[in-house]
Structure 1
Amino acid sequence: MAAADDKLTIELSVPELRAVAGYAVACARPALAIFERVRPDDRRPRAAIDAAQVFVDGAKRSKAIRDGAWAAHRAYQETRDAGQAAASDAARAAVAAASAAFLHPLAKATQVLHILGSAAHAARAFELDAGDDRNVGADYIERARGLADPTVVGVLMRYPYAPSGGGRAGELLRRLDASLRSLDG
């Protein structure tokens, strides 16, 4: 679906939300090593991912997930402001992983960020960590493609295509979006 009415809602079951959050966690977790190398005493991104994992494992969505996402967002801002770009994108991957548990059932392109944002930001973190090597990011997007199970792809297909913008992470997100949608056809 190329465009959608913002008033349209999408049916999402709890098992589907758990699958999407599990995918987001799996995509974000490897980038923690980049963040923790730069800020070894800052556990906020890890705590956000761990809180999302608790939901994936069967708990209810909780305030701990939202609080973890906000804390990881502050870590993102701090590393961004300190010029630690790779760590910053790694923290954004953690924010996106926690946010995936709160995917909204609105037919809006921005919701694709909840599904694929952790993969795109992790890919960008790996690119930046490798001296802005775009091949590294492209390779990570291929890895993320392989992590998506049919449930994740099925949920993605109910949403409009990923939005424009977002810099290089946005490009990576759109590449992954197009790649996953091709699996459904």
Structure 2
Amino acid sequence: MRRARCDTIRSWRRSNPLGDSARRLLARWVLACAERVLPLFGDDAIQKIQDAVSRTRSCSTGGSSAASEIRKRLIAVRTANSAASPAGAAAARAVVQAAAVAHMGAHALGAAAVENESRWQLANLRERERSALRTLPSPGADSSGPLGPGLLSRGILGTTIREIQLRLE
């Protein structure tokens, strides 16, 4: 049992190489990415999405903890699932990914991929944020975490994340 727990912790650390301060730093950038597409969500349940934006902003300044955000993450996910249009769902998912940066830095690339305007995104990265993003694994390279074999490692999101990572150099 103890060995399995240690393996799980090692796997989590590989897929989440960013500490609290780097995740807070990236939250500023992912919020900017997500807020660019937020108007696409429309009026449907906008308050719940705005709450996720506010919580992410608070987390970026140290006003909230990863544990607190993990407990609240599904509120925005359910709101995204109830969006009236595909564009609205994508906008809400960008906010969901941004809010998830509080507990796992790789979600920053998920928010950027959903927003999918990499020229603007890269132009608005500060050097410290760029450095933090460079430490993240490539999509599908690790068996766990948001860049593991799942939503963010395949299709247009995976392709966009790979393009962003290549342009970070």
With the shorter chain as reference, the TM-score category is 0.7 to 0.9
Q: After superposition, where does 1:91-110 map in structure 2 within 5 Å?
A: 91-103=92-104
Partner Cα separation in structure 2 for residue 25 and residue 7 of structure 1:
24
Q: Give 1:41 deviation, angstroms.
A: 4.3
Within 2, Cα distance between the matches of 1:11 and 1:78? 33
Following TM superposition, by how much is the alpha carbon of 1:96 offset from its aligned partner in structure 2, in angstroms? 0.5
Identity within the alignment, % = 22
Structure 1 pair 144–68 and aligned structure 2 pair: CA distance change class (3 A): farther
Shift of 1:20: 1.3
Q: 1:48 aligns with which of 46, 52, 57?
A: 52
1:134-166 deviation per Cα after TM superposition (whole angstroms, max 9, x unaligned): xxxxxx211011122222222222222133743
Aligned to 2:157: 169
Contact 2:67 2:103 in 1 (8 A): no
CA distance in structure 2 between the aligned counterparts of 1:153 and 1:85, rounded to whole angstroms: 30
Structure 1 counterpart of 2:118: 141
8 Å CA contact retained: 1:48, 1:65 = no
Q: Could you say which residue in structure 2 is the equivalent of 1:116?
A: 109
Give the Cα–Cα distance (whole angstroms) in 2 for the partners of residues 71 and 116 of structure 1.
Answer: 21
Q: In structure 2, do the counterparts of structure 1 residues 50 and 68 end up closer, same or farther at CA, with 3 Å as the change threshold?
A: farther
Counterpart in 1 of 2:11? 6
1:15 to 11, 15, 21: 21
CA distance in 2, matches of 1:158, 1:168: 22
Contact 1:76 1:91 in 2 (8 A): yes
Q: Aligned residue for 2:137?
A: 160
CA distance in 1 between counterparts of 2:54 and 2:47 reads 10
Structure 2: runs of 5+ lacking an equivalent:
1-9, 141-148
Unaligned 5+ runs, structure 1: 104-110, 124-139
Q: CA deviation at 1:54?
A: 0.6
CA distance in 1, matches of 2:82, 2:28: 26
Contact 1:93 1:117 in 2 (8 A): yes
- Specify the alignment match of 2:82 in structure 1: 78
Residue pair 2:66, 2:102 contacting (<8 A) in 1 also: no
Provide the rounded CA distance (Å) in 1 between the counterparts of 2:27 and 2:68.
15
Kindly report the root-mean-square deviation, in angstroms, between the aligned alpha carbons of the 2 structures.
2.5
Q: Distance in 1 between matches of 2:91 and 2:72?
A: 14
TM-score (ref. length: structure 2): 0.75
